[in-house]
Structure 1
Amino acid sequence: MNKDDIFIVVPAYNEEKMITKTLKNLKKYGYKNIVVVDDGSKDKTYELAKQEDVIVCRHIINRGLGGALGTGIKTALLYNPKVIVTFDADGQHHPEDIEKVVKPIFEGYDFVIGSRMLDKNELKNMPLVKRIGNFGLNFITYFMGGYFVSDSQSGLRTFSYEAAKKIIDDLKSDRYEVSSEFIILAKKHNLKIKEVPIKTIYTDYSMSRGTNVITGFKILFKLIAQRIF
């Protein structure tokens, strides 16, 4: 596996506490092609990312996770990578898991999701409220026309170059509903999809980020609106 063929997209909003550590960890594992999208942060996320010798895009205003991932994936596609990886900025992912989600792409899969739910020991570490919320969003994703997967909201995913091009052309989501829309669009385009088990680093900081019950309802309403309009 040639890591030069891999581009990693890191969406970041007010991540000054973790962005430097996250980027240094990625580079420590040999990943040089990193695209950070500062999504209108009000702290020093942009300045700190610029210091790490990575590609940094900046939104003047906060557009949301979907907007940041859209910008990051479009930017990565300009470099014609074989694989595009999305990777959260808050330190919850292990860089060593990137190889797990990249390998199936070279085996013929189009879209791979790193699942926190496939490893029983890892599942025990996930807070109960997260498990319940995740199952609900998995069902919503399937109901709205996607594949049924065990971890629809995972931030660690990979796309082949061709799959990323197909999905980005149709992507409508600006915010957290993007995670479900990726899977819905994968089904629409008949992409070959696979899940692999990954680990998660749960900290008070990472637990304060991401989705909650209110966000879950917002995701449902946004996905319904996309279907109607």
Structure 2
Amino acid sequence: MEKNDIFIVIPAYNEEKMIKNTIRGLKKKGYNNIIVVDDGSQDKTYEKAKEEDVIVCRHIINRGLGGALGTGIKCSLLYKPKVIVTFDADGQHSPDDVEKVVKPISEGYDFVVGSRLMDKNELKNMPLVKRIGNFGLNLITFLLGGYLISDSQSGLRAFSYEAAKKIVEELKSDRYEVSSEFLIIAKRNKFKVKEVPIKTIYTEYSMSRGTNVITGIKIFLKLLLQKLF
């Protein structure tokens, strides 16, 4: 698959420290179709992203990860790419792994998740508290109607064009529960789903971002409410 057929969506909230490096890392690997969604940042995320000659969508207020991903995927669909990839802004993903999540789409899969837990060496690198939290959210995702996979909360994913269209039609989540909801929508629509192992770059900065125990509880409650209503 040509890299011009791929659009990469980067949700970003107060990421002025890393956004330029993240964009440049992707461009260095030949990925030029990049959409940054500035989710109501209070720093210079928007300005720094604009300097990198990418598409930048801007939320006036912070809507959350789900809101940012929804906006980015909808924007990508306007260009009719073959594949849409989501990629975290904080530097934890390797641009080399984009190819890993894209390849199965060309083989007929609808939705691919990059797992930080499939490779034993990578698993050792993940802090214990995150491993436990991920296991809990994997189980919750499954019990509430999603696919059971090893890393439901991974931010590196790929969707086919048709799968992405279906996702945004049904997506309700605005915040971190979006990662689980993607898998619930996928199961409901019988998407062909695959996991592939990816590398994770843990730094003090990336470790300070993302989910924690409180966030995990909120994810569970919001998913439960979606299930009930």
Give SS of 1:35's match. Answer: strand
Structure 2 residue aligned with 1:169: 169
Structure 1 residue aligned with 2:52: 52
Give SS of 1:84's match. Answer: strand
- The Cα shift of 1:45 comes to 0.0
Aligned partners of 1:168, 1:228: CA distance in 2, in Å? 20
Residue segments in structure 2 that go unaligned for 5+ positions in a row: none
Give SS of 2:147's match. Answer: coil
- The Cα shift of 1:161 comes to 0.1
Residue segments in structure 1 that go unaligned for 5+ positions in a row: none
Structure 1 residue aligned with 2:133: 133
Structure 1 residue aligned with 2:69: 69
What is the one-letter code of the residue matched to 2:155?
G
- The Cα shift of 1:15 comes to 0.1
- The Cα shift of 1:87 comes to 0.1
What is the one-letter code of the residue matched to 2:106?
F
Report Cα offsets for 1:56-79 as digits up to 9, x if no partner. 000000000000000000000000
Report Cα offsets for 1:134-178 as digits up to 9, x if no partner. 000000000000010000000000000000001110000000000
Aligned partners of 2:21, 2:166: CA distance in 1, in Å? 32
What is the one-letter code of the residue matched to 2:15?
E
What is the one-letter code of the residue matched to 1:91?
G
Aligned partners of 2:167, 2:206: CA distance in 1, in Å? 27
Q: Does 1:42 align with 2:59?
A: no
Aligned partners of 1:154, 1:183: CA distance in 2, in Å? 11
Aligned partners of 2:194, 2:178: CA distance in 1, in Å? 18
What is the one-letter code of the residue matched to 1:148?
L
Aligned-residue RMSD, C-alpha: 0.3
Aligned partners of 1:51, 1:143: CA distance in 2, in Å? 44
Aligned partners of 1:226, 1:177: CA distance in 2, in Å? 10
What is the one-letter code of the residue matched to 1:215?
T
Query: How high is the TM-score relative to the length of structure 1?
Result: 1.00
- The Cα shift of 1:227 comes to 1.1
Structure 2 residue aligned with 1:89: 89
Query: How high is the TM-score relative to the length of structure 2?
Result: 1.00
Give SS of 2:17's match. Answer: coil
Q: Does 1:115 align with 2:150?
A: no
Report Cα offsets for 1:65-102 as digits up to 9, x if no partner. 00000000000000000000000000000000000000
- The Cα shift of 1:207 comes to 0.3
Aligned partners of 2:95, 2:41: CA distance in 1, in Å? 24
Aligned partners of 1:126, 1:209: CA distance in 2, in Å? 14
Aligned partners of 1:159, 1:79: CA distance in 2, in Å? 14
- The Cα shift of 1:228 comes to 1.5
4+ long deviations beyond 2 Å: none
Structure 2 residue aligned with 1:221: 221
